[in-house]
Amino acid sequence: MFKNVFGSGFLVRTAHVILTWIITLILFLHDTELRKQEEQGQLVQPVLFVLLVLVSVLLYFAVSLMDPGFILSDHSDLQFTLGVTEEQQDMIPPSNKSLRRRRCGHCLLQQPMRSKHCQTCHHCVRRYDHHCPWIENCVGERNHRWFVLYLAVQLLVLLWGIHIAWTGLGSARAWPLWLRSNGVLLVVWVVLGLLALVVVLLLGSHLYLVSLNTTTWEFMSRHRISYLKHCGADQNPFDRGAARNLWGFFCVWGTVVWEQVYFKEGGDVV
């Protein structure tokens, strides 16, 4: 389920965790709302903030180390693509949307629909969305919902951190004195603000694409994808309405046979 902790993304993950806890420590050491509450014995908000930071770090590692849906053999590919047995391949009705299952030109394995080979991870990934350098892992069928959940929790941490940093900014008689006394918190506030902006854009775009039941790769490259390039600009064969798309993404566990959805046989979960 999880990849090697000490893989190629070790430095990225280490830097992320170190930066997270350095900023958290700065918010506690300076004259912020958190420090005042801690000194007064009001520990509810400080403890909740630390717990939320800890949850965000744990989610980060889960998404970063989780198998996003790597295709490792043709045998497993048959189970997911054909619906467990070869006989079910004949049950898929003929359609004017002709489609041939293709072999990956890199790993030479058969690709189920909506999968793509990642040049960085060197594997084909089911329901490939994108390769994220932030987590140094692909976002695919198995970890996409956890990635969205991580973004939501991370956004809460960043917004709360922005508020805490703001409460620690004091006043001074002169501009140089103000910068000297508030410089560190000001840098933290700016960094948190920039990160929050990035996370808002990421979270918003992913929720939008999920509501359409499409992926970042399909949205950006639909003109080159065999099963989408014949569709109209506003046509998506996987779209079942925003409510059902969101429900299926967040609440339905299992692997969807996308060939069945594509041919209007329904998204049966195996």
* Three-class SS state of 256: strand
Give the HSE-up count for residue 63: Cα atoms under 13 Å, Cβ half-sphere: 27
Burial 19-31 (b: 16+ CB within 10 A, else e): ebeebbebbeebe
What is the number of helices (H) and of strands (E) in the chain?
Answer: 9, 5
* Distance (Å, whole) CA 171 – CA 179: 10
Contact between 218 and 225 (Cβ < 8 Å): yes
Q: What is the dihedral of CA 216, 237, 68, 153, to 10 degrees?
A: 60
Active site residue 104: no
Selecting among 118, 121, 124, 132, the annotated active-site residue is: 132
Contact between 182 and 137 (Cβ < 8 Å): no
Give catalytic residues, as residue numbers: 132
